[in-house]
Amino acid sequence: MHNSTIWSKTQSLLVFYVYKTEKEFNQFRVSFDEVLNESNVKRIKVVVLIKDLKQDILRNSLFAYISEKDIHFFTSELRKKAKNEFGYQLDIVRHTAFDLLLSFGEPTPKVLKWLMKIQVKERIGVNINGLKTFDLILQSSKSSISDSVTFTRDTLIKIKKEE
């Protein structure tokens, strides 16, 4: 059998990120771009959860995002709402298979339920407490999101995955 790592085997990636501040989000984007340059990822989707409606600044972003008021997109109304770009992007994510889900931050219960419906080979949470629905939970002692992203990549490079 040929051994490889989780990171080297990942060709499709779903990233879930809980938005806190614009500065941290920009650091996340830059550091994630850097680690993607050293990966085999060919397809990526990023979903950003915005818990505070006042922070609803990603409306024109390339990222699909979720604000707490839009949580109803995760019910049977999703198809009805898919007429707009946001709903359409989430519908694509929901019906696409991924090799790996990386969750940076804790999803709300409704979002977690939605995430669990997506076909994913491996679910990994970063700095998430007590969620047994993930295959692996990584705890980084690093304070910056950039360091957490690098820590996650470095850890996934070390974890062997048998074929």
DSSP secondary structure, 22-57, as one string: HHHHHHHHHHHHHHHHTS---EEEEEEEE-SGGG--
Q: Give the model's pLDDT for residue 141.
A: 83
Region for 105 from its dihedrals, namely left if φ exceeds 0, alpha if ψ lies in -120 to 50, beta otherwise: left
pLDDT > 50? residue 44:
yes
Lowest mean pLDDT segment, chosen from 26-30, 55-59, 101-105? 55-59
pLDDT > 80? residue 51:
no
pLDDT > 80? residue 125:
yes
Q: What predicted TM-score, i.e. pTM, was given to this entire model?
A: 0.79
Averaged pLDDT for residues 68-74: 41
* Domain coordinates in residue numbering, the chain: 3-162
Q: Give the model's pLDDT for residue 115.
A: 85
Q: Which helix (H) or strand (E) holds 155?
A: helix 145-158
Q: Give the model's pLDDT for residue 100.
A: 94
Taking the C-alpha atoms of residue 76 and residue 130, their distance in angstroms, rounded to an integer, is 28
Instruction: Express each pLDDT in 72-106 by its tens digit.
Output: 334 444 445 444 555 566 777 777 899 999 999 88
- Domain 3-162 coded CATH 3.40.50.2000: yes
